[in-house]
Each structure stands twice: as C-alpha cells, then as structure tokens.
Amino acid sequence: MASNKNNIKIHQHIKVVPPSSSSQTTTTTVPLTFFNIIWLRLHPVERIFFYALPNSQSSPSFFFQQIVPNLKSSLSLTLQHFLPLAGKIVWPSDSSKPFMQFNPNDNDNGVSLFIAESDADFNHVIGNSPHEASLSRSFIPNLESSHLCASVISLQITLFPSRGFSLGIAPHHAVFDGKSSSMFIKAWAYLCKKTIETGESPPLLPELEPLFNRDIIKDTTENNSVEILSKLFPAENGNERSLKIFPSEPKLEESVRATFKLTREDLDKIKQRVLSKWEIIDTNESKPKPATLSSFILTCAYSLVCFAKAIHEVEKEKEKFAFLFAVDCRARLEPPIPDNYFGNCISGHFIDKNPLDFIKEDGVFLVAKCIFEKIKMIKEKGVSEGNAFDVFDTLSSLNKEGYEILGVSGSNRFGLYENDFGYGRPEKVEIVAIDRGLSIGFGDSKDGNGGVEIGLVLKKHVMDLFSTLFLEGLQILSSNDESLLIYKLNIKKSIKTKQRNNRG
C-alpha cells in the first residue's frame, strides 16, 4: 500500500493490542469527566519525535527487521498498563455519557500503527530554519472518528533510510492532555529500552503507572454530557451525541514551519528587562514586582509580542490580540489529585489586558505582567469547571470583535527530549498541531540547559518578519546598552524621593 503524500510509502498498517498472555478477561470502562467532555470533538495535539540512527541501524533491512519489532512489542507491553488506550470512545444510545471502553473479546481493539518510509531529506525535516509546513503532516497518522465511536490514539513510525526515523503521535484530546501524552511516551520508551538491554520486560516505574480512577474528580456539574456539548457547540443542535472530531484543517498553503530557541541566558535577559520596567511603569506600590518570573511567562510574552507585531506589520488592520493558555488542574482541584492521574485535566484562561498591548513598545513587559497576574489569581482562587463555558463565550465574543487569538501548546516541563527507546534521545521534537491556528509550540531545549524551543507555522513573509523581530530583539538585550533604562530608573527614584519628602 503506497501514498504519494510527500513521497511517503506506507509499508504496513496494524492494530497493536496488549499481549495475549495478559490476565485481562473483562471489559474495562473508564468514564469521561467534565474535563474530558469539553475536548470531546476537538482535534488532537499531534507531536513528532525524530531520532537519528547510525548507518548500520538505519538501513531498511535492519530497521524493519530489528527496530520496528522492538517498538511494536514494547508498545504491546505498554498497553498492559494503559488498557483503555487500546479500546475506543463510545456513546451507546442507552448511556447518558460517553466513555472509554476496552473489550478483550473485540477483534477491532488495538492502537492503530502505521509503518512508513520517506525519501525526504532528514536534515531538512528536522532543521530549525523555515521549511514547507505541509512536510510534517506526512509523518502524522490520522485519528479515526465517526458519529458512533472514536479511536483513542494513533501512531506512525517512519523510516528515513540511512538517517533515522520519526515517531508521530495523534492522541485524542478528550483522553490526553500534554502531561498524559508525555507519560504514555515515557512509559513506552522506558519499557522498550529496558527490554532491549535486558531481554526481559521490566516492571513500569511507579511514576509512570497511570491512574484512570475518575472517582477522585469532584464533578459538580453532574456531567450532563449532552447539555455540556450543547452549550459549548450550539451550532451542533440535534447532533450533540456525535463523536466525530470537528473538521479543523491545517493552514498549510504558503505557510512555513520554523523553530526558534531561547537559551537560559536569553530568558534571564528578558526577565531582567521586564522586572526593570516593572519599577518604571507600574506605580502601584501595593503590588510589588515579583522576585522572579517563570520560563513560561517570559517565553510567551517575548514570542507572542514578536508574533503579534509581525502579523500587524503585514496586515495593518489586524491590531487587536488576545492570549489563551491552558493550566494543569491536577494540583489546583479541591482536593488535589495525584500527579499520575491519566486523562485530560486542563482548563483554559484568557489574560485580561488591552488588545493593543501586544504591539506597543513595552509589549513584552505588559504581556508578561498580565500573564503573571492571571497565574497568580489562578493559584489563589483555584480552577472551576464553569470556567470552560466562560472561555468558550469569551472566545466567541472576541472572534466576533475581530480579535486575533494567540495560543500556546506544550510545556518545557514534560522532558520530551529524555525519551530514549534504546536508540538515543530525539534529535527534534515538534508539535505539529500548531498549524491549525495562531499558536506557538512550547517545549524544553534539546541540550537540557534550561532553555526552551518555540515552534511556529506562519505565512512565509510573516515568518521572515517574526524572525527579524525575534533575533534582533535578543541582540538588543545582549548589547548592554542600558543608558536609557538607567536614566528612567533615576527619574523614577527621584519622583519617589520627592513623594516621600512631601509626605514627611
């Protein structure tokens, strides 16, 4: 079976199931909570892991006869611990709620796995420089869904002869958030590597054992799934029980994909500049500046301002921007739930700010301050299930008002570059799903020195401008020309001194 999509050849399509020796004989059913339901029909957050191989291991004969069997057998072993992933999402007519179900007697069970081969230039594919956005889509499988059922996860292993291979993952968003997705990959990589080294299947590390127990989530909405989906997707009136993923086509025409890096030193310089401006611009002494700022805040503020300014410069009429991001709710629920809880457990949040702040001269400071204050509020007040409705209502209103919605996908805390299947760490990890909207892919740095990577998909002329703004901004931060900043600080101190003297 072959495909002409970017010269990809599909050698095999199989369903991988847990080992037949598994003691599992009864059907496993896992309910979907409110946190799952709100993502039920949204597109998966696809990722690709690229691995380089020596010539001896990347020949087609060795790869298909040795490496692929190791990956398949260890995937089967991994599914022993993640049984629901080998089943489907279903919504029977006699059930008020959809759920995941694994039936060991169902011949249609299993994780869909494609084994493919590409003649693309491996170095070009994993390069950070702009290249055609459509290329990455070749290495990601489709996640099957229909009105009646949906696959939980789909995988694709692609060989680049004499160079390496990629592992593409398409996880259902109702089942996986970023933390769960990374846990599954880590478990698979761990079992594969250990099996290769010892010849035996080891026990899974305790922190990688998934917890599927939904009873620990306090579902105050009583999870009326039809009502929830009716509120979230009013245009689907009469079709609320459908499990078919909404069409959300990637924006690939004339678009390029590129990766940018912020080193630990870059982040420190951005932080110093933002905190310095905090003293100059923010005169509210009841809210002192923070002692530090997270990599997430600094990366989003710097990248999104460059993002917005590039879009605005090319399309002048686009000047109103908003930022939507997700937070992990595990530690923020009452009571908190364990870190190894497996399922989607995130909530979305907008930062409250002036829509023009992204393109102002002090945009990085303004955006960083707003993200900081929003996260601080979430930590103090926690998260609530009703927040999802507010987010969807806000999103709808902002779209009607002509806002460009900027987003972020991923985290630098997942340690995705640590996933070694026994053939070395990844050369590149890429979030493919950012090609569906205006989002940045956010992840840890390959070298593990505390830096971050930012992935983008943009029209080529917008990407060129983003690159200029991004790189020149870092050069300015590194120039050590702080004369203007010192001048402003001295003025600020002088004003405060006069105010204190007047009060005295």
Active site residues: 173, 420
CA distance 500 to 504: 6
215 burial class (0-12, 13-18, 19+ CB within 10 angstroms)? exposed
CA distance 337 to 328: 11
Q: What is the DSSP letter of 109?
A: -
Give the gyration radius of the chain's Cα atoms: 24
70 burial class (0-12, 13-18, 19+ CB within 10 angstroms)? middle
CA distance 130 to 153: 29
Angle at 279 between CA 277 and CA 281, to 5 degrees: 60
| Crossing angle of helices 483-503 and 264-281, rounded to 10° | 40
**Kind plus residue range of the DSSP H or E element containing 111:** strand 111-118
Encode 81-114: b = buried (16+ Cβ within 10 Å), e = exposed.
bbbbbbbbbbbeeeeebbbbbbbbeeeebbbbbb
Residue of 375, 310, 367, 330 lying closest to 349 (CA atoms): 375
